Amino acid sequence: MLEYVLVLLVGFIVGTINGMAGGASLLSFPVLLAIGLNPVSATVTNSLGVSSANIFAWISNKQTGWEVFHKYKKIIFLATCFSALGAIALLALPSEVFQHAVPFLLLFATFSLLLPRKPRVGKLHKNLERSALAASGFYCGYFGPGQGVIVIATLSQDSSRTPQEVNSAKNVIVGITSGLSNIIYLFSGQVIWPIFATLFVGSSLGGLMGGYWASRIPTQIFRALVFCVGLTASVWLFIHTF
């Protein structure tokens, strides 16, 4: 019973932070490992459980969300296709391969918080941006935690975008790209359903809260929190994997 209370609480925290800044599924992934899930089941259950955060954050700010959807629909389609490839790769590769890849993926997602945010324009930047977001889609399907941070860091390179637009775009892109990979996960046999349901409820409530407060609370505090937890979790995984 205590583990479900913990998962519910973590889900709420993750949903709130994901609605405002992203990357908080780095917090829930180690918790699922700690309560006994194997890395593949933890990834699949975590991805499904926290997926509601971005959707409910989108609902809480749906007017801006629909505008962003139409503006970024080509990028969303590209990232979604790559997320399906990532999900297939996760389920097709031997679990040992994935288990050894997890610490590196988690570390990469954590340090993506430190990517520089210089104003850049031009065709080359747009192509690099599309490539980065397509890669984030594959990453979403194959691992997931930290995709929101990668999307924020990528979109923030364009100084013409306001923080509110970047956050709203992140909610739409992550929410939709994770949708297709999550459909594949549903039939994988790796979902731990009671944990998923508990995480989903907590994440949904947190997502509504995070979407509402997105423009009211500085995201730097949450990025710092996610970075510290992500770095600690990465070190923990390296110690226990190698």
Task: Report residue 119 CA to chain centroid gap.
Answer: 24
Residue range 12-40: mean pLDDT, rounded: 85
Contact 137, 104 (CB under 8 A): no
Q: What is the pTM of this model?
A: 0.80
| Lowest mean per-residue pLDDT among 103-117, 171-185, 215-229 | 215-229
Place of tokens 């913990």: 6
pLDDT band at 156 (very low <50, low <70, confident <90, very high): confident
Contact 54, 19 (CB under 8 A): yes
Contact 39, 99 (CB under 8 A): yes
Using a 10 angstrom Cβ sphere, with 0-12 exposed, 13-18 middle and 19 or more buried, the burial of residue 92 is exposed
Could you read off the pLDDT of 216-240 as tens digits, one per residue?
A: 666 677 667 678 877 887 887 788 7
Q: Which two three-digit tokens encode residue 5?
A: 């209370």
Give the sign of the dihedral formed by CA 72, CA 148, CA 175, CA 172. negative
Contact 46, 144 (CB under 8 A): yes
pLDDT for 27 equals 83
